Structure 1
Amino acid sequence: MAVKLYFLINSLAGGGAEKVAIRLSEHLPISEFILLERDVKYKTDKPIFFLSNHSTKTSPIIKTLNIPIYAYKLSDFIEKNSLVVSFLERANFVNIISKLFKKHKAIISVHVDQQTGHVGLRKLNKLLVRLLYPKADLIIAVSHGVKESLINLGIEEEKIKVIYNPYPIDQIRELAKESLGSYEEIFKHPVLITAGRLTKQKGLWYLLRVFKALKEKHKDLKLVILGEGELKDYLVELSQELGLKTYVWDRDRLSESFDVYFLGFQKNPFKFMARSKLFVFPSLWEGFGNVLVEAMVCGVPVVSSDCRSGPREILAPNTDFNYQTQKPEFAEYGVLIPVFEVKYKTAKEPLEEREIMWVETVDKLLEDENLRKNYSEKVKQRAEDFRIEKIVQEWKEVL
């Protein structure tokens, strides 16, 4: 009897790990998606089985307490010799605990640096990682930084394999050509763009403060933010308190008169990226940084925080991935800037040293067209290293 392959993940409500799972599912013979929650924004032609009626809005405490129940339901659904690949921590915990009820093979995919990436139930998460992850049959880390962070928690190195995230490069470049429609007017102006969930991890309040300072010199500059999340109200309010005219996708009528555009979740972010001057990425921690490579595929120069982990491996692959810069670093494939503190800011607080570094670096790139052109060519070359056909082959060998 053929072994059935399942993908297990918290939800398909947007986000980098979810996108990776969808992309891999299009190239691997998976039988079904199994979701802990009922949120689905990414389309898939695979059947979906839900383990609960929970959603992304359900309390994290409730969802954590339900891990054993999810695990039992998973074991009840799958066949004994199944292979279950899980993505994201809660799904990983469920996958491993489920092995107690049904002896399947559990491969877990880890997308967050374990040293910096635990939020919320931080101590409990770390404890569960230490207890459960060694019991997985194999651990896939999305970067060498993530692998190192797992080893630092006591996981055996032999059990961990690094496979970078996959990108359908030809498809992304086709989608990047799509018309902007009603958004066309915004991109007649120079645009800084970022994408990702509106969460603490992404550090977007720093970007708003940096953008406000840049507007003093670059009057025509616009900031486009793609994504949804729980910090939406705080970020919109901060933007307005900074004196920036702020567009919100579910509130305002679109026009080119705004400074900051919160455009929400976009099925095709690439058409926006491709028409922007710079992709800016102030993340406080990462596992890999999916949207960095997506912007690079679109030929957009990248400015990123040198957070753990991912950005350095992507933009400066010939350097030590454990190193973190203390000043702006014009690396081979993009610019790395020291990572910010995990600390919320108000509109009234003066810019700190690292915010000033961002202002000066982005200003330099906006002023220097040749530097931007040079990076634009280089990022397209680097993106080829993450081509989906190559990454899928690595997954097939593992499976």
Structure 2
Amino acid sequence: MNTYLLLNSLSGGGAERVAVNLFKALNFKKISLLEKEVKYEIPEEKIEHLSNHTTKTSSIYKTLFIPIYALRLSKKLKAQDIVLSMLERANYVNIIASLLSKHKSIISIHTSQMYGRQRWHPYNFFNKLLYPKANLIITVSKSIKAELEKFYGLPGEKIKVIYNPVYFNEIQEKKEALLNEYEPIFNNPVLITAGRLTRPKGQWYLIRIFKALKEDFPNLKLVILGEGELKGYLVKLSQNLGLKTFVWDEGRLSEDFDLYLLGFQKNPFKFIARSELFVFPSLWEGFGNVIVEAMACGVPVISSDCRSGPREILAPETDFEKQTKEPEFASYGVLMPPFEVKYKEAKEPFEERDLMWVEVIKRFLKDEELRRGYAQRAVERAKEFDIKKILEDWMEVLND
């Protein structure tokens, strides 16, 4: 029996980082990728590609190619093998391939299935058709498990919740790395966020809020880590707001900028650890790994109370289905009213919700004791997601 990991790519992102963490901890034979993109340090002989596609290949074309991926994967497998897949296209490929090779398919679902897209989206049809055929479904939050039961009618006994793991001790080492050319940025107070520059992450809301904060904190900097298709929109928005913006592949770095788009970073922890606050404006999530990683860095977290994940991390004693309408100073971080799934322009007026975010961030920037208290509690909470604890759940699943 061999165990394989299957992903769309290793181009960066929360699910990919989880996969890499699991790959380092468990005895997977190979990582199979639908695409050629690899940005993590994995031995080349441990990776196999099912196509020459990249992140730039048309998403429609890659969706139509799913049966071909599945056929190619099935030819590499035996009936006693196990394939653990993450993200939707990879999950579909895993399930379809299992119908041919009879291998055991375990699919892992990392994001809300119902928030952020229309009910008529074709992926909702594929989910209803294919997910029941998986041998086991892993969700990264209780909220996603509840969604699958409610919207797709999947039986609860076929679904297991396993929170995403972090390498706590490794983060402690990596956060101490030198900043080198980036050090001048952190001579100033810094807000930081991390995630793909995509619609679910809602970074445009944070940029607008940051502009308002600059009136009271003129030396404040905003650092955004991640790459994605919204790069052009975010740059244009920041420029229309009058912010001086540095982009990772353009111009020369200095501390004269307001906003820093630093792209994908192999070691985000050295940036997060030197920031005043980690601010997470996501519109919807699955778990929000980077929240736990920021907590492990000893940085206070202010997060949208979006579906799903942040509440289960920051306020575990509360009902995971609750969604706040006002600032909630929870046990391990602050939960804020989530934003609308709607793009915003520079001239659009602030809503009451935006002003709430501004005032809470102001309070944290002014109150060092408040920051210190949340930072200390955050570290203790992050230890509960250490790979050593989460690994027990995964070993039980794979052995069964």
| Pairwise TM-score range, normalised by the shorter structure | over 0.9
Q: 2:122 aligns with which of 121, 124, 127?
A: 124
Report the alpha carbon displacement of residue 183 of structure 1 after superposing the two structures with TM: 0.8
Q: Secondary structure at the match of 1:380?
A: helix
Match of 1:372 in 2: 371
Partner of residue 238, structure 2: 239
User: Which aligned pairs between 1:220-235 and structure 2 lie closer than 5 A?
Assistant: 220-235=219-234
Partner of 1:261: 260
Partner of 1:332: 331
> In the aligned structure 2, how far is the partner of 1:178 from the partner of 1:43?
17
- Partner of 2:335, secondary structure, is strand
Alpha-carbon shift at residue 80 of structure 1 (Å): 2.7
**Counterpart check, 1:301 vs 2:295:** no
Match 1:20 to one of 18, 21, 33 = 18
Shift of 1:66: 0.8
> What's the TM-score, normalizing by structure 2?
0.98
Aligned to 2:139: 141
Corresponding position of 1:166: 165
Amino acid at match of 1:135: K
* Residues 237 and 345, structure 2, Cα contact 8 Å, conserved in 1: yes
Indicate conservation of the 8 Å contact 2:189/2:219, yes or no.
Answer: yes
Matched, 1:8 2:6: yes
Would you say the 8 A contact 2:116–2:341 is kept in 1? Answer: no
Stretches (4+) displaced over 6 A: none
1:287 maps to 286
1:107 maps to 2:111: no
Local SS of the residue matching 2:15: helix
Q: TM-score, normalised by structure 1?
A: 0.98
Q: Which moved more, 1:293-302 or 1:48-57?
A: 48-57
Residue aligned with 1:101, SS = helix
* Corresponding residue number in structure 2 for 1:195: 194
Query: What are the Cα deviations for residues 199-241 of structure 1, in whole angstroms up to 9, with x where unaligned?
Result: 0010011000000000001111000000100000100110011
Q: Which residue number in structure 2 is paired with residue 397 of structure 1?
A: 396
Counterparts of residues 379-394 of structure 1 (less than 5 Å): 379-394=378-393
Unaligned runs of 5+ in 2: none
Structure 2 residue corresponding to 1:40, chosen from 27, 38, 41 = 38
CA distance in 2, matches of 1:240, 1:252: 15
Identity %: 61
Counterparts of 1:49 and 1:251, CA distance in 2: 33
2:250 aligns to what?
251
Q: CA separation in 2, counterparts of 1:48 and 1:177?
A: 30
Q: Distance in 2 between matches of 1:210 and 1:134?
A: 42
Whether the 8 Å CA contact 1:117–1:286 is kept in 2: the answer is: no
Equivalent residue for 2:66? 67
- Counterpart CA distance in 1 for 2:250 and 2:103 is 48
Q: Deviations over 1:80-117 (max 9, x none)?
A: 32100000111001100112211000000000111215
Aligned partners of 1:123 and 1:220: how far apart in 2? Answer: 44
Contact kept? 1:37, 1:53, Cα under 8 Å? yes
CA distance in 2, matches of 1:276, 1:143: 27
Aligned 8 A contact 2:78 2:102 in 1: no
CA RMSD after TM alignment: 1.0
The AA in structure 1 aligned to 2:208 is: R
Equivalent residue number for residue 318 of structure 1:
317
Partner letter of residue 122 of structure 2? L
8 Å contact from structure 2 (residues 32, 48) kept in 1? yes
CA distance in 2, matches of 1:365, 1:104: 51
AA matched with 2:46:
P
User: Which residue type is aligned with residue 211 of structure 1?
Assistant: F
Question: 1:118 touches 1:126 (CA, 8 Å); kept in 2?
Answer: no
Cα distance per residue 1:165-199 (max 9 Å; x no partner): 01000001100000110111110100000000000
Unaligned runs of 5+ in 1: none
| Structure 2 counterpart SS, 1:314 | helix
Q: How does 1:209-220 map to 2 (within 5 A)?
A: 209-220=208-219
- 1:79 positional shift: 2.3
Q: Alignment partner of 1:326: what SS?
A: coil
Quote the Cα distance in structure 2 between the aligned partners of 1:178 and 1:129.
42
CA distance in 2 between counterparts of 1:200 and 1:172 reads 28
Q: Please show how residues 345-356 of structure 1 align to structure 2 within 5 Å.
A: 345-356=344-355
